[in-house]
Amino acid sequence: MVQQFISSDRTLAAPLLRLHFHDCFVRGCDGSVLLNSTSTNQAEKDAVPNQTLRGFNVIDAIKSAVEKECPGVVSCADIVALAARDSVAMVGGPSWVVATGRRDGTVSRASEALAQIPSPFANINQLKQNFSAKGLSVKDLVVLSGAHTIGIGHCFVIINRLYNFTGKGDTDPSLDPAYAAQLKTICKPGDNTTVVAMDPGSSTLFDADYYNVVATRRGLFQSDAALLNDIQTRVYVTLQSSTNGITFAQDFAQSMVKLGNIGVLTGSQGEIRKQCAVVN
């Protein structure tokens, strides 16, 4: 199913990878990001960091195909983890072994997503805290940031960086001035719809080019630029950038396995949802 979707639209790989990341960062990899809000609860998917998520339709299509084959066996959380792996592999990235047996959570709160998902505006200390709270190392942080080698960012997230960084109508000095000028031709103040490639030139190919982008101060988000502000993350960026990503594929696979193990529900915890958007 993943092959079918990605073959017809390569831009879906990044959203499917992001779905897994955003799921695991809140309550662990339990499919909680897939749940719909109810009249009494605002779910994770309606929190600001998740309002630009895509790919729910792909997960639903896979779920219904899997349910036909073996009803009540495969959790939505496992489907999200497997789809992320397969998407990355399909656009030129590494593959990794995904342990299965996750169960689906029954709780999803927008407030938790807002508090725990790393922000594109975060500085390096905030990012290190975000990752460390999930049992991920500084190396995992710089490696998983490499996911930005595919996909797009929205103009409204970077408008401030371009036009009013400190409230004085200025541009973020950590952004390469030539690149900032180029971005200003694409993103105008008040633009809520236009998107920009995070890795211009190869935004649907999973390569190590993201590290060249960051090393030349062309990271789209403040959180990308922040990787140059810590000795450990900067050394990694420089290494991958100067060696064409010598260890990146292998490192990414290892960090994704760690990500997929965060806070999983097993055994009699949680449930196997019949439909991914609603609890049984």
* Binding-site residue set for heme b: 148
Integer Cα distance of 58 and 64 in angstroms: 10
Integer Cα distance of 276 and 182 in angstroms: 41
**Locate tokens 């805290």: which residue?**
129
Tokens encoding 44 = 């994770």
Residue tagged active-site, from 22, 63, 161, 218: 22
The most distant pair of C-alpha atoms in the chain lies apart, rounded to whole Å, by 59
Kindly give the pairing relationship between strand 195-197 and strand 152-154: antiparallel
Burial of 267 (0-12, 13-18, 19+ CB in 10 A): exposed
In eight-state DSSP terms, residue 48 is G
20 is catalytic: no
Integer Cα distance of 143 and 234 in angstroms: 11
Tokens encoding 263 = 């806070």
Residues with a known catalytic role: 22
